[in-house]
Amino acid sequence: MTRIHISEVGPRDGLQSISRVMPLEAKKAWIAAEAAAGVPEIEVGSFVPPSLLPQMADTAELVAFAKGIEGLAVAVLVPNFKGAERAVAAGSQKMSLPFSMSETHSLKNVRKDHVAVLGEIRAIAELVAAQPPSTRPHFEVGLATAFGCTIEGPVDEDNVVRLAAAAIEAGAAEVGLSDTTGYANPAQVKRLVRRVKAEVGADRLNTLHLHNTRGLGLANALAGLEEGITTLDASLGGLGGCPFAPGASGNIVTEDLIFMLEAMGCQTGVDLEKLLKVRGIITDALPGEPLYGFTPDAGLPLGFAQVTA
């Protein structure tokens, strides 16, 4: 039986993409409810300057709160070494640094070219290695715009493979492939996953971060699974997008992804009926904010039974 690890990124990727700021208590309720539904990992925020993303100003408080939830892996995004220092100080258990394969996007997103980002990766890896083993966070590099860029257009796959290897050489524990702009298609996903795994090792690429901009999110997820991907990022209600990638709309919908996986016979450990009720927290805290997903609208089919351990 295949076990797929779900990482909920809505509290970070979803909320950074909208102008309103969700109240701290509502964020806590969201995180607690998803954890209670069995979601094993939640990206609770990002350590970026509040002046740039005020939606993320309370990330340290959310890390402290989420760490109190038994069994939950607490993840954050860090844009640079300073962000990583804050993440380590807060006690984050997993850190992800976005490394855009499009250098133009990298300059827009984190204001650094490829050489500078690799320098940040080395510095963060040294910081992580200096922490006591018991509190050392897992350090992943997300290869953003790996499938295409709204600014540059096509991204050279040879460069993605080369930069993936460079990130590992610089000290990242693993890399993930991110379809930041919703450009990917299933054939491309299969090809690039296969190529990066061959370059860095099968155990160094486990995660896909996909967007549903053109309706191919679940198809791309399935393509990744067929190539050995075991972790999939998703966002409740499909919230999300990159503020520095014009036209990049939301992530794949957590509810739809889990329904697909469970219907296929994969195990997620997530109680889908409980998860569907979590949307109410978002609609109450952010009235009028568009949410997406077919499963929440249609409901679960008659006789649907989830996989149990």
Task: Please say if the pLDDT value at position 139 is more than 70.
Answer: yes
User: Cα separation of 30 and 165, whole Å?
Assistant: 36
Calculate the alpha carbon distances from 7 to 105, 235, 274 in Å. Answer: 24, 8, 17
Average pLDDT over residues 2-29: 95
Average pLDDT over residues 90-107: 93
Residue with tokens 């609770």: 44
Residue-level pLDDT at 305: 86
Q: Quick: pLDDT tens for 280-309.
A: 999 999 999 989 999 999 999 999 988 665
**Helix 217-226 × helix 186-200 angle, to 10°:** 40
Q: Quick: pLDDT tens for 204-248.
A: 999 999 999 889 999 999 999 999 999 999 999 999 765 554 544
Please tell me which residue, 273 or 247, carries the higher pLDDT value: 273
**Helix 24-36 × helix 272-285 angle, to 10°:** 170
Exposed, middle or buried by CB within 10 Å (0-12, 13-18, 19+), for 193?
A: buried
Residue-level pLDDT at 242: 54
Calculate the alpha carbon distances from 284 to 25, 62, 93, 277, 288 in Å. Answer: 12, 19, 29, 12, 9
Superfamily of domain 5-298: Aldolase class I (3.20.20.70)
Please tell me which residue, 17 or 240, carries the higher pLDDT value: 17
**What's the chain's Rg over C-alpha atoms?**
18
Active site residue 242: yes
Residue-level pLDDT at 211: 93
Please tell me which residue, 114 or 106, carries the higher pLDDT value: 114
Residue spans per domain, the chain: 5-298
Task: Please say if the pLDDT value at position 253 is more than 90.
Answer: yes
- Which range, of 99-108, 115-124, 231-240, averages the lowest pLDDT? 99-108
Q: Which of 242, 253, 275, 285 is catalytic?
A: 242
Strands 138-144 and 174-178, sheet pairing: parallel
